[in-house]
Structures are given as structure tokens and as C-alpha cells.
Amino acid sequence: MRGQLAAMALIAATSTALADEATSEGARDVEGAYAAYFGRRAISDGVIKAEPDGEAYVISWDLAKAASLLGAPADALKMDPFTYRLTSEDDDGWSWSSLAFPRISLKISNDKGPVSADIGFDGFSLTGRWDPTNEPFLVTKLALGAVNGDFAQTDPNGITHVHFVQHDLSLETRASTNADGGVDVALVQSVGKLLETVTPADGQGGAAGKVNFESDFAPGSVAIAGLRAQEIGALWRALAAAADSGAAPQGLIELMTQALPLWNDMGAEVQLKNIKIASAMGGGEIAGFGETVKLAGLSDEGRVEFGIDLDGLTLQSSMAPPWVARLTPLSAKVSVALTDSGVAKAAHLALADPEFAERGQVSREGQAAMNAAILAGDPRLVLLPGRLTTPTIDLAFAGSAQLRPGAVAAEIKISADSLDKALAIVSELGAAAPEMQYATLLLGLIKGLAKTQDDGRLFWDVVVDGPKVTVNGSPLPTSP
């Protein structure tokens, strides 16, 4: 469904109004606009249809037919066509609306066996408007009272069922033209409540192993800065035209080059609140869990970043020993990034490679040049400033490592409020379990290497340079 909204948005952002009145001729013009992006067969085979209805055009997407035309089994996807009303506006813009989304039934197979899914959508409402004379030029709003889904995986142990319900969903998208001619896209979504139940197959515990999951949602968001919508749209149309004609697309390399870096920055974040997990074996609660993803375009500042933020974790289990709760994280914030300033140069080298233009594959020499560009861009794995807290210790950390073949270079800085409580627990365990005595010695060694900061926290600066490792400037012994 989100993919269809994205397609509608891209067409709106790269097209002009096609007809002022809902007529049969106008409907064919509308279909022609869709054909430019999805190929003429999408129209001739009835996957996309446009029909005049009063002052609007009724657009229908038959995705089940599309799946069948792509070679999927007849019952792989069962779904009535999705329809919406498309209306031409006085300002050469368009508006659209729909009050229903069809039920989806899926049947596929994986390496374990058949998988089936049935998903229903209640209280569906979609509205949108594209206005080339205004900013934001594109606004869409989607609301759902509930989404109900049932999944079933069949394997030799039986059938595992997953049932979920999401209540009160909303999604709003706005697109505006920025100063450099790209498009800035802002998407905000929220879900009132998520309920999920997993019932394992009989061979894996059956009903006794049932797990219930419940969560509230904080608003999530996706933001794209500098999307090359016009250029990507031109590339998409060229590929669709080539697929229709069976000929190689004309000017493909130039179009791909013009579309770079695709976008400047992209980021997404979502947060769950008041998470509750319950099963016969135990359960837990989490006050908040957040996840972030950031992705730069194919630019000189190549960067991919992923982070999680967990707060207020509590676990309950009658089978866990008491010391587990004293070491279980209460909160954690961890973010890692992969950076490389040579990614953009590598992308341009690929497009300039003669074999890529002829066969769509980069030559061996071109691949070697791309690898050299990436290595020259100082590829690094970065551990951003983060934190981990348990009832016994509070850790803070940050660091980075160079990613070069045959060379190890890294630095990580760690601080802790104290190791005494952790040492006490490990020593206590070592008295009952001799194999834990090594952990006691190791923690003692780590504490001995620490320095004390002005705020009283212990501090370690660990530097790795090839085979040499130092902690706070003191070399660690290396094996002969």
C-alpha cells in the first residue's frame, strides 16, 4: 500500500494535469500517464484502468492480476482491485480520495513449507492533492481504524500462527521543492496500539508456548532531503519505454548520472512505548524502545547509520537465577555508522565504465578502480557516543575503526561509574561455579588498567594499531 502511495506521489511530482473534464478521452490520457511509468502492458492487460465518473476518474489497480502476469501461482495473491477517485483541479493540479482498501490473501512457500496470510483493513481513508502552484506541492493523508492480520507457517512441527492488530493508524506525507531543485519529503505516522500473539506449532510447544506482545506507539517519521524526483522520474520513464519497445534505453547513463546522488539525506525513526511481553515461561516490560536509520545519498559524505534506544527494561522469569536481574540492562543507547567519502566517486566510475554501458556490468578494471576509490575515502565503522546501564554499572562508550584490508586500526573510549558491584556479583558466582573465577580475574585486571576522571568515573582509552594494543597508554602483552 505504501508503495502505491509512493508511485502516485512520484507521478504527481513529475507530471502535469492531463485533462480538465472527466471524459473517455481524458481517461485514456490518464492511462497514458501511468503507462509512461509502468509500461503499456499495465494498461493493455488491465492492471491499471481509468474510467470517467462524473467530474472524476476512477482509477483501479488490479495487483492480483499483476502478480499473475509476473508468473506467480494463481492463488498466490487474492485481492480485489484497489480504487480511488482522481479529480482535475482548476489550478492544473489533481486531488484523489478513497474510502476502502481490499482484503489481502497471500499463499507462498519458503524453505520450511507453505506460508499463508490474511490481512484486512477497517476504517480506511485516503486523501491527497498535488498542486504545482503551491508549497508543499504534494500532501497525502491516510487513516485506518485497524489492520487485522493472520499469518500461518506450516512446517514438519505443525502450524505456527501469528495474529496481529494495529489500531488507529495515520500517515501524512508532504513534499516541497527545495532551493537546489530537489524535493524534500516529510512523512509522519502513528499507531495507537499494536497487539500480537504468536502461537507455536504443536511440535514446538503449541498453545503452552504462546507469546503475547502489546505496545503503544509514539509518532514515527521519515524525512528525505533533496530527493531528485524529476531526474528519477525521467530515468523511470526511460526504463518503462525501453521495456515496452524491447530496445536498449536511450541516454540511460546520462539519465542515471543526472539522478545522482538520488537524495542528500534520508532518515527514519520509530518508537514503541509501554511494551509488554507475556508467556508461560515469563515476560517483561519496556518503557520505551526507539530505532533510527539514517542514509546519505551517493554523495561525497557517504554515511549509513543505525541506532537503538532502550529504556526501562524489566524481565520476569521463574526459571532465571536471581543474579540475572542484577546484570540485565535497564537502558541502552547504541548507534553505529559506516562512513566513506569515496562512495560518490565509485558510483560515477561505475557509470563511466564502458562495459556497464554495454552490458550493465562493471569491468574488472572498473571494479578495481571503484575499490580503490572506496579505500581512498577512508572507510570507517564508527561507534557513536552511547550508554549501557544495569543495576550494577553505568557504562559510556564511543569509538571508531578503520576498515582496510590487512590493517587494523581502532580506538574506543569507555567510562564506568564503578566495577565494584559487578565484581561482587561475579565473585559470588565464582564461589559456586569455578568456571566464573576467570571472569573475576578479568574484571580485576580491567579495573586495574583504569584511570579515574575528575568526576570519579573510571576511564579506559583502548587503542589498537595492528598487533599493538594499549589501554590508557600502557601496552598490553602480546602473544609470541
Asked if the structure places residue 330 within a domain, the reply is yes
420 in a structural domain: yes
What's the pLDDT score for residue 203? 75
Reported as a pLDDT band with limits 50, 70 and 90, residue 19 is very low
Same domain, 364 and 425: no
> What is the mean predicted confidence (pLDDT) over 420-435?
67
pLDDT in the model for residue 436: 62
pLDDT, tens digit (0-9, with 9 covering 90-100), for 303-335: 999 999 999 998 887 776 766 777 788 899 999
Confidence at 218, pLDDT banded by 50, 70, 90: confident
Q: What is the mean pLDDT of residues 201-211?
A: 82
**Does residue 18 carry a pLDDT above 70?**
no
For 132-152, write each residue's pLDDT tens digit. Answer: 889 999 999 999 999 999 999
- Mean pLDDT along residues 428-444: 66
Same domain, 371 and 401: no
Comparing C-alpha atoms, which of 184, 167, 85, 189 is closest to residue 127?
Answer: 85
* One-letter amino acid for residue 335 of the chain: S
Assigned domain for 7 exists: no
Quick one: cell of 86? 482522481
Percent of the chain with pLDDT over 70: 91
Clarify whether residues 355 and 406 are in a common domain: no
Residue ending a domain, choose from 70, 88, 106: 88
Residue 174 lies in a domain: no
- Same structural domain for residues 440 and 400? yes
411 and 375 belong to one structural domain: no
pLDDT tens per residue across span 58-82: 999 999 999 999 999 988 999 999 9
Which of 353, 379, 405 is the last residue in one of the domains?
Answer: 379
- Across the chain, mean pLDDT equals 88
Q: Is the pLDDT of residue 428 over 70?
A: no
Read off the DSSP letter of residue 249: P
Beta bridge partners of 304: 295, 338
Domain final position from 344, 379, 414: 379
Handedness of CA 354, 355, 361, 364 (dihedral sign): negative
pLDDT: which is higher, 107 or 329: 107
Residue 263 lies in a domain: no
Q: What is the number of structural domains in the chain?
A: 3
| For residue 117, pLDDT beyond 90 | yes
- In a domain, residue 480? The reply is yes
**pLDDT by residue (tens digit) across 35-65?**
999 999 999 999 999 999 999 999 999 999 9
Distance from C-alpha of 309 to C-alpha of 391, rounded to nearest angstrom: 18
Q: Give the domain extent around 402.
A: 392-480
Gap between the Cα atoms of 254 and 345, Å rounded: 16
Residue with grid cell 502489546, as numbered in its chain: 214
Same domain? 424 vs 466: yes
Read off the pLDDT of each residue in 279-288 and give the average, rounded to a whole number.
90
Span 162-181, mean pLDDT? 94
What residues contact residue 320 under an 8 Å CB cut-off, 6+ apart? 282
What number is the average pLDDT over the span 99-114? 93
Please give the model's pTM, rounded to 2 decimal places.
0.86
With CA atoms as reference, report the closest residue to 355 among 345, 369, 371, 341.
Answer: 369
CA dihedral sign, ordered 470, 471, 473, 479: negative
Q: What is the pLDDT of residue 429?
A: 64
453 domain residue, yes or no: yes
Residues 372 and 398 in one domain: no
Is residue 348 domain-shared with residue 303, that is, in the same domain?
yes
Residue 335 domain-assigned?
Answer: yes
Percent of the chain whose predicted confidence (pLDDT) is above 90: 65
Is the torsion defined by CA of 220, 98, 119, 274 positive or negative? positive
